[in-house]
């Protein structure tokens, strides 16, 4: 009988055995980068409710994490598992940092890669992959979150141009972005627009006092007669299929990421249980030295964004029963 592998408390299910050497090399690179450059600072960023987005993006771009699962245009073209492992490692550090990776790579870059013109791809993707340009993704509005199809932001033709008007809410990296992928109602249906954020009429204000995802920039965007050239529109999609395809892409990384947050909590608890002293010093005094509460607060957002867990339950219910219970 084959000898059972030694039990590893850090990998109780033996997942490592399912990975090939390249998967492990990528996983280890991201893990090491996070341990050296991000984890030492993240509790402070969370505490202060701020994130040096450009610095972090350049670092993650430097190790090839941003848009890593996309092909060409400076992107690494890795497998889905490798992308998932990277998300896991980044979220083991903090969900806010993983949300930067998801919004950049799976929402903004993916939208441009899948639905954009060749010009959009060449202009934005190489700089975004390197972390030199930051992207954001505007779907949610103040009055339309779970029901984005009812969005009010609209784009109208004005000669050859488009005029964009409206608001978006809860937009990750909105105030620091160089480019925004914005979904808006047009005559023919919902369209996506590639909007350089220095265009006149575009403004962004940060949302402060979050209790969750504090190491992440979240903003409200306003478009006041933002004039865009005809070719600002994503040419290859009309309707909700566009934004929903991008959300599906991002959720894949989020699933892996939440396992990373769970692993970080588990490792902290394991370490704590092995090292605590009951009598020499009161353990209550050390509670906030540990990342578990930070991860717990962050995971509330993970249950909310890209469609709340309730909406996903209803979507699965519709698939099972054929009955639409959310309208
Ligand atoms: C930190 C953070 C970052 C985000 N980043 C982005 C981003 O970068 N880009 C972007 O576009 N959006 C972003 N979002 C927005 C996010 O996708 C929305 O918050 C989410 O879709 C929920 O919308 P809402 O907040 O308007 O809640 P609502 O839609 O008002 O829902 C409130 C509650 O009612 C429940 N509910 C709603 N409708 C039904 C129904 N029919 N049946 C049963 N229950 C229902 C919901 O499940 C929820 O519990 C972000 C959100 C957060 C918190």
> For the chain, what are the domain ranges?
135-241
**CA-closest candidate to residue 247, choices 150, 103, 92, 122:** 103
C-alpha 178/C-alpha 162 separation (Å) is 19
So what's the pLDDT on residue 169?
98
C-alpha 106/C-alpha 99 separation (Å) is 10
So what's the pLDDT on residue 28?
97
* Residue with more model confidence, 286 or 167: 167
Please say if the pLDDT value at position 318 is more than 60: yes
- State the average pLDDT over residues 199-223: 97
Residue from 53, 146, 207, 314 to probe ligand 1 pocket by mutation (most atoms less than 8 Å from CB): 146
Residue from 109, 170, 204, 301 to probe ligand 1 pocket by mutation (most atoms less than 8 Å from CB): 170
Residue from 53, 104, 140, 184 to probe ligand 1 pocket by mutation (most atoms less than 8 Å from CB): 140
Ligand 1 centre to CA of 169 (Å) is: 10
Is residue 306 among the annotated active site residues?
yes
Please say if the pLDDT value at position 286 is more than 80: no
User: Measuring from atom 17 of ligand 1, which residue has the nearest CA?
Assistant: 305
So what's the pLDDT on residue 7?
83
**CA-closest candidate to residue 58, choices 130, 139, 112:** 130
Please say if the pLDDT value at position 211 is more than 60: yes
So what's the pLDDT on residue 147?
94
List ligand 1's pocket residues with C-beta within 6 A. 103, 137-140, 145-146, 170-172, 213, 218, 301, 304-308, 310-311, 314, 326
- State the average pLDDT over residues 36-49: 96
**CA-closest candidate to residue 237, choices 114, 138, 136:** 114
**Closest ligand 1 atom to 243 CA:** 11
Q: What's the CATH architecture for 135-241?
A: Beta Barrel (2.40)
pLDDT band at 292 (very low <50, low <70, confident <90, very high): confident
User: Considering the chain, what is the average pLDDT of its residues?
Assistant: 93
Can you tell me whether residue 80 is helix, strand or coil? helix
Please say if the pLDDT value at position 71 is more than 60: yes
Please say if the pLDDT value at position 2 is more than 70: no
- Cα distances (Å, whole numbers) of residue 322 to 158, 308, 314: 42, 20, 11
pLDDT band at 307 (very low <50, low <70, confident <90, very high): confident
Q: By percentage, how much of the chain surpasses pLDDT 90?
A: 76
Please say if the pLDDT value at position 1 is more than 70: no
- Cα distances (Å, whole numbers) of residue 190 to 172, 186, 242: 21, 6, 8
User: Measuring from atom 12 of ligand 1, which residue has the nearest CA?
Assistant: 140
**Closest ligand 1 atom to 213 CA:** 1
Q: Which tens digit of pLDDT belongs to each residue from 141-159?
A: 999 999 999 999 999 999 9
* Residue with more model confidence, 244 or 7: 244
> Strands (DSSP E) along the chain, which ranges?
71-72, 75-76, 135-138, 154-158, 161-172, 179-186, 189-196, 202-206, 218-228
**CA-closest candidate to residue 62, choices 158, 151, 122, 130:** 130
| Catalytic member of 118, 300, 306, 310 | 306
pTM of the model: 0.91
**The length of the chain, given as a count of residues:** 327
So what's the pLDDT on residue 295?
87
So what's the pLDDT on residue 59?
98
**Is there a contact between 55 and 131 (Cβ–Cβ < 8 Å)?**
no
C-alpha 290/C-alpha 272 separation (Å) is 9
Ligand 1 centre to CA of 292 (Å) is: 24
C-alpha 76/C-alpha 68 separation (Å) is 5
So what's the pLDDT on residue 277?
67
Ligand 1 centre to CA of 144 (Å) is: 8
- State the average pLDDT over residues 243-247: 97
Please say if the pLDDT value at position 285 is more than 60: no
* Residue with more model confidence, 192 or 278: 192
């Amino acid at each position: 009988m084959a000898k059972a592998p030694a039990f590893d408390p850090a990998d109780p299910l033996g997942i490592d055995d399912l990975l090939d050497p390249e998967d492990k090399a990528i996983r280890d690179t991201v893990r090491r980068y996070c341990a050296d450059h991000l984890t030492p600072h993240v509790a402070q960023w969370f505490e202060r409710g701020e994130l040096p987005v450009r610095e972090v993006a350049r670092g993650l771009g430097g190790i090839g994490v941003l848009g890593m699962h996309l092909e060409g245009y400076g992107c690494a073209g890795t497998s889905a598992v490798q992308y998932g492992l990277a998300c896991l490692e980044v979220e083991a550090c903090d969900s806010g940092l993983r949300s930067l990776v998801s919004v950049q790579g799976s929402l903004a870059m993916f939208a441009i890669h899948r639905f954009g013109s060749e010009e959009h791809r060449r202009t934005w993707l190489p700089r975004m992959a390197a972390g030199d340009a930051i992207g954001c993704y505007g779907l949610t509005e103040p009055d339309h979150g779970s029901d984005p199809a009812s969005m009010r932001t609209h784009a109208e033709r004005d000669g050859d141009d488009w005029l964009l008007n409206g608001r978006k809410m809860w937009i990750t990296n909105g105030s620091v972005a160089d480019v925004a992928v914005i979904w808006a109602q047009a005559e023919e249906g919902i369209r996506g627009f590639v909007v350089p954020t220095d265009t006149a009429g575009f403004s962004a204000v940060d949302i402060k006092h979050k209790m969750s995802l504090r190491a992440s920039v979240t903003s409200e965007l306003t478009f006041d007669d933002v004039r865009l050239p005809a070719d600002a529109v994503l040419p290859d999609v009309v309707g909700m299929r566009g934004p929903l395809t991008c959300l599906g892409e991002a959720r894949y990384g989020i699933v892996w990421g939440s396992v990373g947050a769970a692993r970080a909590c588990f490792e902290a608890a394991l370490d704590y249980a092995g090292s605590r002293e009951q009598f020499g010093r009161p353990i209550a005094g050390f509670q906030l030295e540990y990342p578990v509460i930070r991860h717990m607060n962050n995971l509330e957002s993970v249950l909310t964004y890209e469609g709340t867990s309730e909406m996903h339950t209803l979507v699965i219910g519709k698939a099972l029963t054929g009955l639409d219970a959310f309208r």
